[in-house]
Structure 1
Amino acid sequence: MRPSSIPSLLIRAAFLAAVAGPVCAQSGREPGMGTGRATGMAIVSDERGDTLSILSPDLKLVRTIETCARPRGVHFSADHASFYVGCADDDTIAIYDTASLELTGRIRGVPAPETFDLHPDGRRLIVSNEEDATASVIDIETGELLAEYLTGEEPEGVQVTPDGRLVFVASEAANLVHVIDLEAEAVIADILVDTRPRRFALTPDGKELWVSAELAGIVDIIDVETLKLVGDVPFLPTGFRAEQVTPVDLEISADGQRAYVALGRANHVAVVDVPKRKVIDYILVGSRAWGLALTADQSRLYVANGLSDDVTVIDTRSLRALTSIPVGRVPYDILIDDR
């Protein structure tokens, strides 16, 4: 594994600069301060509907926005004034104003963006490019391609460490987690994990990286300091065969005590005691539970159900589903504007 060659990088950078649309204007707020006008709305990317579904705090669908081709990963800017949408079939990252939900810019020429993470500096996006088997680093303000790293086939999950030095990228087809050192500008490790790694969650202390392994039906746990596997958590809800349990997204609570894992075609969310690495409950949701998002107060968990075209909302105190809300076709990822 190695960074792309300099000539290739320069060509791609020039292309991006030439075709990038207008980039979202700066809000004038310091990164991390928030907008001060959080709406409580949830934003859902509908992968096959080419839409964004907007859910109100009282759990109703209030708006559907036509967007780009095959919207997948979504992420807020550092101050939450904007959010980014990965448009996999348009080779574009669309930029929206959070308050108005208006399209304010596009970063073009980003090959098949699937998911991405925002660097702590608030300026760089690290993007998994599914069709190119690369991870790219993009300057949000200019649209410039800053760096590109080769990965295994079908990269998906991306996670940046809180200090901004390391980036983890999951390669679904290679069963690897690639570790990129942004300061050294190199891939420094390829960690073999279980079958088809998809998404990540860091514990709040930054010491453990949890990785969903979709076709193994487990979550692998990596020690961030040593970059070694140190444990796993298997899943098997009652009434399901092992091959039906396909974990994808996962969230760890702010206090580090609970993890929530979407179990895909098993149609449940697993609740895990993080310190004990033990499943404490399974919650029935819609068909093919996929993307997850926790509210800022940790009281509700939103679940995107990709095959029933709805979002289930779970009360995390009672660990029971409150409702399921119909959205667009094949909901993929979720943001909640409550910070």
Structure 2
Amino acid sequence: MRTLGLLGLSVAACAPVAGEAPSAPAQAGVSGALFVAGKFENRLAKVDLATGEQVVSVESCANPHELATSPDDRYVALACYGGTTVDIFRTSDLGRITSIDLGENARPHGIIWHANGDLFATAEGRQSIFWIRDPLSKAETVEYGTGKRGTHMVAVAPSANHAWTTDLGSKTVTRVDLKTRRAPLSVEVGEEPEGIALSPDGKTLWVSARGSDKAFALDPQAMEIRQEVDTGDFPLRIAIRPQGDFAVTSDLADGGLTVIDLASGKAVRSIAVSSREEAEAKTQVTIIWSPDGKRIYVAETTANTIAEVDFATGKVLRRLPGEGGGDGMAVIQ
């Protein structure tokens, strides 16, 4: 584990960079919108993907992190990591419509807007996750304790029967039974597991352990490790292509992405988003796929930019605005 390196990267991740984010060139054939949480300046912004321009920016909440859009793409939910709420905004104009309080010291971070219309969010400060039922109306909350330190990111089964969290401080991944409320089941997975993604068929859980420079494939029910895959340096996040054929890790310390073929469970190539020398200055954090699986959006948090990467070629097509330390992202097409 690279203690000194991690300390340096942590400091960089908390330090804002002055100056306006650059405008990006238009891209033919690209449509939709990108939503970006600016955690250093407490902002939520919308970027038009056709023009590459930021079109709306509003005040959000304290230290916003992860985002999730509703199944109908009309709303975006924001996890307010510096506070206790999940706030919901319209995607059209970023007007805030509701704020759902999860209780004292909640510090919500990971968030999923499930296909069934409900929200799921981690509450790191409470060592738990919340199921928010009917968030646009009754917003009934049910809390499930993990008992683990640093309950950070979350994945949810297509059936919504189970959820899984990465627990940074405890070095564990935890399975939570959402329907029967049986005791949670945890397993150690490398050093500092943080990124998490469930395959579209729900049969494999992928976790990136940033302190181990590895991705792990787990049986999501037995909670047993099936495979280990070497990645680049400090894989902060892992995201699975919507088609379910590839995953990528966001390798913060070397500014790259590791591409994993999910059929073989092997790393098949790497994509350079920035050079290793630039990596700490840009602080590559969150990654998301476009819904069509053709592009990867990479948050370069301290550079106030979002790199748009063509998956087929590995080329960085342009850098979009990531105002105020862009971290959490969501995209609609």
Q: Report if TM-score (shorter chain) is over 0.5.
A: yes
Q: How many residues align?
A: 292
Instruction: Name the counterpart of 1:96.
Output: 89
Q: Distance in 1 between matches of 2:173 and 2:102?
A: 25
Preserved CA contact (<8 Å) 1:285 1:312: yes
Indicate if the aligned counterparts of 2:146 and 2:174 stay in contact, CA closer than 8 A: no
Whether 1:47 and 2:39 are equivalent positions in the alignment is yes
Kindly provide the CA deviation profile for residues 161-187 of structure 1, in whole angstroms up to 9, marking residues without a partner as x: 111111101110101111111121133
Amino acid paired to 2:157:
T
Deviations 1:235-288 (A, max 9, x none): 24xxxxxxxx11122221233221111111221111222212222222222522
Match of residue 164, structure 1, among 145, 160, 163? 160
Preserved CA contact (<8 Å) 1:215 1:246? yes
1:316 aligned onto 2:311: yes
Deviation for aligned residue 1:292: 1.3
Q: 1:135 aligns with which of 123, 129, 135?
A: 129
What's 1:10 paired with?
Answer: none
Counterpart-to-counterpart distance in 1, 2:115 and 2:56: 31
8 Å contact 1:249–1:292 — kept in the other structure?
yes
Instruction: Provide closer, same or farther for how the CA distance between residues 151 and 309 of structure 1 changes in structure 2, counting only shifts above 3 A.
Output: farther
| Unpaired stretches in structure 2, ≥5 consecutive residues | 1-29, 275-281
Q: Is the Cα–Cα contact under 8 Å of residues 181 and 187 in structure 1 kept in the other structure?
A: yes
1:149 lines up with 2:145 in the alignment: yes
Q: Deviations over 1:129-159 (max 9, x none)?
A: 1222222222323233323313311111111
The letter for the 1-side match of 2:122 is: S
1:100 is aligned with what amino acid? D
Distance 2:141 2:291 in 1: 32
CA distance in 2, matches of 1:56, 1:316: 20
> What is residue 175 of structure 2 aligned with on the other side?
179
Counterpart in 2 of 1:223?
219
Secondary structure of the equivalent of 1:186? coil
* Percentage of matched positions with identical amino acids: 21
* 1:113 lines up with 2:101 in the alignment: no
Q: Counterpart of 1:307 in 2: which secondary structure?
A: helix
**C-alpha distance in 1 between matches for 2:83 and 2:163:** 25
Q: Using the TM superposition, give the Cα deviation of residue 211 of structure 1 relative to its aligned residue in structure 2, in angstroms.
A: 0.5
Instruction: Report how far residue 39 of structure 1 moved.
Output: 6.5
Q: Where does 1:319-334 land on structure 2 (aligned, <5 Å)?
A: 319-334=314-329
In structure 2, which of residues 61, 67, 87 is the aligned counterpart of residue 74 of structure 1?
A: 67
Q: CA RMSD in A?
A: 1.9
Rounded Cα–Cα distance in structure 2 between residues aligned with 1:143 and 1:73: 19
Q: Counterpart of 2:253 in 1: which secondary structure?
A: coil
Structure 1 counterpart of 2:272: 284
**CA 1:226–1:42 in structure 2 vs 1: closer, same or farther (change >3 Å)?**
same
